[in-house]
């Protein structure tokens, strides 16, 4: 294959894998597209819709295919590590859906292989690419806020969405599935500084009544090495009739010279 051509393997043909495969199928440099899923029929169905040259029930077949030059891992969260490591070992860049894994041990294994092989690895924290957050980052880079001292960020959604997450992967709690977006955002806004302390508390009743161990609400205080303090929280158990269209997000950043207030509550 021409080095300028793009050969993409999408591992996992669920909701996000379908989204990624559809987007990739329209890329002008695409020469080869492969999709896989443990449910072979689902993979074949997606392959037919996006015009994939290969659709299979074997993830390794996609990852190892010689015409696949980069891999998108869209499997359930608990299945991320093996596919990521397999692709990295073959020198194929990887985009993985967040979170990178469900355990620190798996995350460390993945990062160790990425560092050893020198292969590019990206985690799909797509919120960074929304226009409002791009503009916020631009203001920070330009120094409009001065030194960032503190901030707060919270995201809410109805319990139906939270239960959907837990049904797909019981260990992928709203903290791992959603709050990590805003941890990433805080780290991005405070680029160059690292978290040094995290204190978190949770409370829950609704999910536990449904048989899950996840909390309904979690709040955290994250302190960075420059002293900045971020208060980040998630509540994915809003009543069914709460007046919000989809995810409800609010983020505020406080600096010595300015303040950013990002309101994405969607109460419309």
Residue keyed to tokens 């894994």 = 101
In this structure, the number of other CB atoms found within 10 A of the CB of residue 117 comes to 16
For 139-155, how does the pLDDT look when each residue is reduced to its tens digit (9 = 90+)? 999 999 999 999 999 99
Question: How far apart (Å, rounded) are the C-alpha atoms in residues 224 and 122?
Answer: 23
Domain boundaries, the chain: 6-124, 127-264
Average pLDDT over the chain, rounded to whole? 93
Residues 80-121: tens digit of each pLDDT: 999 999 999 999 999 999 999 989 999 999 999 999 999 999
| Residues of the chain above pLDDT 70, percent | 97
Choices 3.10.20.70, 3.90.1170.30, 3.40.50.300, 3.30.360.10: CATH for 127-264? 3.30.360.10
- Check if CATH label 3.40.50.720 holds for domain 6-124: yes
> Are 77 and 124 in contact, with CB atoms under 8 Å apart?
no
């Amino acid at each position: 294959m021409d080095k300028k051509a793009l050969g993409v393997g999408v591992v996992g043909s669920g909701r996000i894998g379908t989204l990624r495969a559809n987007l990739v199928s329209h890329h002008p440099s695409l020469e080869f597209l492969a999709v896989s899923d443990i449910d072979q029929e689902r993979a074949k169905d997606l392959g037919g819709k996006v015009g994939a040259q290969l659709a299979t029930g074997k993830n390794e077949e996609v990852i190892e295919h010689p015409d696949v030059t980069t891999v998108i891992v869209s499997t359930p969260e608990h299945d991320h590590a093996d596919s990521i490591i397999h692709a990295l070992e073959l020198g194929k860049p990887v985009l993985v859906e967040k979170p990178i894994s469900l355990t620190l041990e798996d995350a460390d294994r993945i990062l160790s292989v990425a560092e050893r092989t020198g292969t590019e690895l990206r985690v799909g924290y797509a919120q960074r690419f929304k226009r409002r957050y791009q503009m916020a980052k631009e203001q920070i880079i330009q120094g409009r806020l001065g030194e960032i001292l503190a901030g707060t960020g919270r995201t809410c959604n109805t319990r139906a969405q939270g239960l959907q997450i837990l049904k797909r992967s019981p260990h992928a709690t709203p903290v791992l599935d959603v709050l990590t977006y805003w941890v990433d955002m805080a780290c991005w806004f405070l680029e160059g500084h690292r978290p040094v302390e995290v204190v978190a508390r949770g409370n829950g009743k609704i999910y536990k009544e449904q048989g899950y161990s996840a909390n309904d609400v979690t709040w955290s205080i994250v302190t960075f090495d420059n002293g900045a303090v971020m208060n980040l929280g998630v509540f994915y158990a809003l009543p069914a009739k709460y007046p919000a269209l989809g995810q409800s997000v609010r983020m505020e950043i406080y600096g010595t010279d300015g303040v950013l207030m990002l309101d994405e509550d969607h109460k419309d």
